[in-house]
Chain A
Amino acid sequence: MNPSAHVSFELFAGFPSRATNFPDGVGVLDDAQRRELVSQAGVRHAAHVDLSASYAVLAARAATIGEDESVGLLVNNGPWNLFGSCDMDQRVREAGARFINPLRFPATLVSHVPTKVAAEMNITGFAYAVGYDGAAFINGIRLGARLLAAGHAGTVLVVAVCHGDALLSRVASKACLQTPLLDVALCARLGRPTGRAMPLALHWNEGSQAAEASLGRGPSPHANKTASGALTATAAVDLAMVARCILDDSWPRSQVSLAPWGVTLEKAS
């Protein structure tokens, strides 16, 4: 099977979880809820703790990996280095460059998120950030399928995170984003299925394949505007919402085109 055209995977929700009615419960968390999630994630190197890494750990952990699995990890690129960079800049302004805490330096890189997850979960195949826009999760799934097919890992986890901490929310507000930034963490697991999560198949709409229904971003009955506050996790939220509808039979279609992303989703056989 050409991994460019068809990918089977399981979708895990780090949070909000099925228990909180994901994805219906997707939204903006308050500071106390965020602190609780950071605590649950328990990321080492306290000086580096930030929401994106903690959220990514929770999502990847939901897609439990066995000790004998060779695993690679892809996480959506995003402004996850803003907090670390702004924090460092403020410190420089207040005290001078000689007083920067070097332990905080890695958090000025976007790639600190995947490598922190890798360190937490002993992922030794590869761990890097991918994508540059709302399609990052879809791009990650496609790349992950190819890396899997090429033998670079036996399992690939593709994680999508977004969070709305005070700094990012303030920027989003200034940028007049349609909705507040969502707090979300999802993980697609590619490779040997665990049987514990949503079994799904993703097709790229490059042929004549016609979906039975379509999710769009316009004024259609199936339009989704909720995810606009999810930045580079936008496609992930779209995908999760459609997946939930398909699997719960709450949408009378078994195959749905996610029109903005050029893919079709269906329940895996």
Chain B
Amino acid sequence: MGVVSGPSPRAYIDWADTITPLGEDWTMSWAALLEGRSAVHPWSASDAGYACEAHVTSIQGLERGLDAEGHTSAYRLGQRLMARIAGSHFALAPLFGAANHGDSDRVLALARAIRDEHPGADASAWSRLLLDPIPHAFQPALFGWNASACSSGLHAVVDALMELSFGDATAAFAVAIDVLSPIEVAGFARAGACGDARSRPFARDRTGLAVGEAAAAIRLSHCDEHAMAAILGVGMSCDAWHPTDPHPDGVGVEQAIRRALAHAHVSADDVVAVVTHGTATKKNDAIEADVLRRLWPRQQVLVTSLKHCLGHTMGVAGMINLIAAAQASNVGWLPPVSSQAFEAEPGIRLVTGAPHAIPPGSPVLALASGFGGNNVAVLVGA
């Protein structure tokens, strides 16, 4: 594959916001990330049928399940995010979104309606169950929607970049939404991916991930005024390997990173930090660490992960990684994995205990990988 053509002219992230288990907005979440504060807590399924041992992170005050109008919790979270966009003092622009397991309220309601025959449900209720209603929380700005498991958020960024590069718009929004799903927690638990309360990415004694939830939005434009960072390069790949496992040699992750670097015309040596996918599962972190060692054999790049603090926010995780990478590059501080130091995978320069200073404006890489082997890497900087 040849070198990817750059977005022309350059695209900048000039606004971002989040709703996460660490806070109602990005300012609160960023402060907690710099402290290495964790929101992980034990899972207590409101639905007893899905009870299992797992740890999760959750957004405070988010009402669960379908409401009286049949709207799902993901839809309601989407409406909250859309209100932020509307209140951002930026005009509405084409919006590209993504979700992962966000529609599980809907499919569980559907499963039960089918089983119970749901005699009270009218045709419109069944219609709402048939197609995903979450995207419609973002009307009238909605231009595109995607799903690629835990890389969905960064694919939404790619879709928005394409609009900015080839469409008529001078700005575009990318959004991602995911809410805790009993299906997801139970599925990860049975797959052996869920860990204990520490949920420490790249720790030698890591036990697994904490499933999380969040919503995130960014605005991309050609205007560099007040921008957090510029998008320097984007790379994508697919392992084409296994429904859940990453390729054991990490070829897909490495390919995505190399494509992003080539796109940006930046060498690996120029990258100062990587906000990894870093889930705290044994397989993902081992493979990702291998790739980091191959690309930065002298440990010349700083490495962090946000999932000890935020949990694995699934389809939103990549977008939050990107926002954090942009913020880190902008202010010159890289958040630690956690507030406590621990023994990490060998051969990588993991940031723990306290934030690490980096030269403001320097290139920082954000990564995301998803079930089925999708990988996306985005390089940001001044």
Contact = CB atoms under 8 A, between A and B. Distances in A.
Interface of A: 2-4, 45, 48, 70, 72-73, 77-79, 81-82, 85-86, 88-90, 92-93, 96-98, 100-103, 105-106, 108-112, 114-116, 118-119, 121-133, 139, 143, 146-147, 149-154, 167-168, 170-172, 174-177, 231-232
Contacts of A147: 158, 162
A113 B110 CA distance: 20
B64 interface: no
B166 A108 contact: no
B260 to A, nearest CB: 11
22 contacts: A86-B110, A102-B191, A102-B192, A106-B243, A111-B370, A111-B372, A115-B371, A119-B243, A121-B240, A122-B240, A124-B237, A125-B237, A125-B238, A126-B238, A127-B373, A130-B146, A143-B159, A149-B5, A150-B165, A151-B5, A152-B158, A171-B126
Contact of A118 (B2, B136, B166, B372): B372
B contact residues, range? 35 or more
A206 to B, nearest CB: 8
B371 A106 contact: yes
B233 to A, nearest CB: 11
Nearest to B187: A105
B126 A151 contact: no
Contact of A77 (B136, B147, B183): B147
Contacts of A139: 144
Nearest to A70: B1
Among A85, A97, A100, A149, the one with the most B-chain Cβ atoms within 10 Å of its Cβ is A97
B111 A86 contact: yes
Contacts of A88: 183, 186-187
B123 A175 contact: yes
Contacts of B130: 79, 168, 171-172, 175, 177, 231
A186 B303 CA distance: 43
Interface stretch (B27-35, B45-53, B283-291): B45-53
A119 B159 contact: no
B46 to A, nearest CB: 13
A77 B132 contact: yes
B162 A143 contact: yes
B329 interface: no
A90 to B, nearest CB: 7
A92 B155 CA distance: 32
Nearest to A92: B49
Interface in B119-176: 121, 123-124, 126-127, 129-132, 135-136, 142, 144-149, 151-152, 155, 158-159, 162-163, 165-168
Contacts of B255: 124
Given A85-B111, A102-B190, A123-B238, 7 more contacts: A98-B190, A100-B186, A126-B238, A130-B144, A150-B165, A175-B130, A177-B130
Contacts of A175: 123-124, 126-127, 129-130
Contacts of A114: 148, 372
Nearest to B136: A132
B183 A108 contact: yes
B187 A150 contact: no
A103 B186 CA distance: 12
Nearest to B263: A151
B182 to A, nearest CB: 8
A107 to B, nearest CB: 8
A109 B146 contact: no
B336 interface: no
Contacts of A45: 243
B2 to A, nearest CB: 6
Contacts of A149: 5, 166
Interface stretch (B70-78, B101-109, B293-301, B348-356): B101-109
Nearest to A121: B240
A168 B5 CA distance: 41
B144 A143 contact: yes
Nearest to B165: A150
A58 B176 CA distance: 31
Contacts of A152: 4, 158, 234, 236
B91 interface: no
A264 B21 CA distance: 46
A118 B238 contact: yes
A97 B372 contact: no
Contacts of B108: 85, 89
Contacts of B129: 171, 175
A176 B239 contact: no
B242 interface: yes
A133 B134 CA distance: 12
A191 B271 CA distance: 33
A263 to B, nearest CB: 15
B147 to A, nearest CB: 4
A213 to B, nearest CB: 27
Contacts of B4: 150-152
A132 B49 contact: no
Interface in B86-125: 100-101, 103-104, 107-108, 110-112, 114-115, 121, 123-124
A85 B147 contact: no
Contacts of B7: 150
